[in-house]
Amino acid sequence: MSDSILVFYGSYRRDRMGIRLADFIVKGMAARGAAAELVDAKAVDLPMLDRMYKEYAAGEAPAAMERLAAKIRGADAFVFVTGEYNWGPQPGLKNLTDHYLEEWFWRPAAIASYSAGRLSGVRSATVWHGILSEMGLAVISSTLAVGPIAKTLDKEGAPTGDAGAALERAFERFADDLAWWTEAAKAQRERQAPPY
């Protein structure tokens, strides 16, 4: 049975470049046999956080929130694709993730960052590492950092030039690392229920 992987992307900007990286990851994971799905925060369109999913009575959460909760609970692993806004994470992605808590627990997560410049969004990735750990996820050590994104991936998310070739090489280790932790987490959950 293939791993179910949700790839989260959070930019609301009109001219979004990071969607290229999200598409690249979804295609790459699918080519490796995973059931990978893009979750675009802009398309899901949750409101600014007022009530978390768990704060609604059963059956009263907004439909989009309910659908996403089911997807998160059913996933084996997650990839968070983050741009860098003023040294921090995108508000759209942070807002989407903050609507949930227990739904994330006891599964691995990976971080892929990007920017228009040479620093590749790594400051945002560093912030995300702490956020995801607090959300109960096991964050893998391998990361992807892409920049400048316009010179690395074309509009269809295909690698271009030397930067694209480097991304393809890095992706294999990234995906292998996530697959290992995904299998380990699945095996542990079958062996023993999580402590909470």
CA dihedral 31, 17, 158, 177 (to 10 degrees): -40
Q: Where are the domains of the chain?
A: 4-191
36-92: pLDDT as tens digits: 999 999 999 999 999 999 999 999 999 999 999 999 999 999 999 999 988 889 999
Instruction: Give, for all 196 residues of the chain, the pLDDT tens digit.
Output: 699 999 999 999 999 999 999 999 999 999 999 999 999 999 999 999 999 999 999 999 999 999 999 999 999 999 999 999 888 899 999 999 999 999 999 999 999 999 998 889 999 999 999 999 999 999 999 999 999 999 999 999 999 999 999 999 999 999 999 999 999 999 999 999 988 8
CATH 3.30.300.30 is the classification of domain 4-191: no
Q: Which string of DSSP letters, residue by residue, matches 47-79?
A: PSSSS-GGGSPTT-S-HHHHHHHHHHHH-SEEE
Contact predicate 52/101, CB 8 Å: yes
Are 81 and 22 in contact by the 8 Å Cβ rule? The answer is yes
Q: Residue 196: its pLDDT value, please? A: 84
